[in-house]
Structure 1
Amino acid sequence: MTSKNIILTIVGVVIGAIAGYLYYIEIGCVSGTCAITSKPLNSTLYGGVMGGLLFNTFSEKSPKK
């Protein structure tokens, strides 16, 4: 992986974590039985993982030698 790919993935993790936390704040889970959105930590971590995976799909692949 190049440094550009790593930076792109880290940006995706940060944006995803922010989006996950905002999802918890705005929508969340009223009953508290939702696995992902019942706690802010779970929602933030899940958003970070999903953001990192999403942004990683846009990274350039290194050519094979």
Structure 2
Amino acid sequence: MESRLTDLEIKISFTEDQLEELNKIVYRQQQQIELLVNEVRTLREQVNGLQPAEFRSLRDEIPPHY
């Protein structure tokens, strides 16, 4: 019975360590997600702020060999 109790305490301790490590991983991932969301928002604002390019016909272009 004593051995079984000791085994359970070891398993609980190991499980707590794993849970703490997983919590750290989830926290870091959430920070990365927030950073990426902010970067996407910034890029979207930059793209929306661009003026549409003028339509240029290929006939108006002078080939480089002329």
TM-score class normalised by the smaller sequence: 0.3 to 0.5
Q: TM-score, structure 1 length as denominator?
A: 0.39
Relative contact order higher in (CA < 8 Å, ≥ 6 apart):
1
Q: Which has the higher helix share?
A: 2
Please give the TM-score of this superposition, normalised by the length of structure 2: 0.39
Higher Rg of the two aligned structures:
2
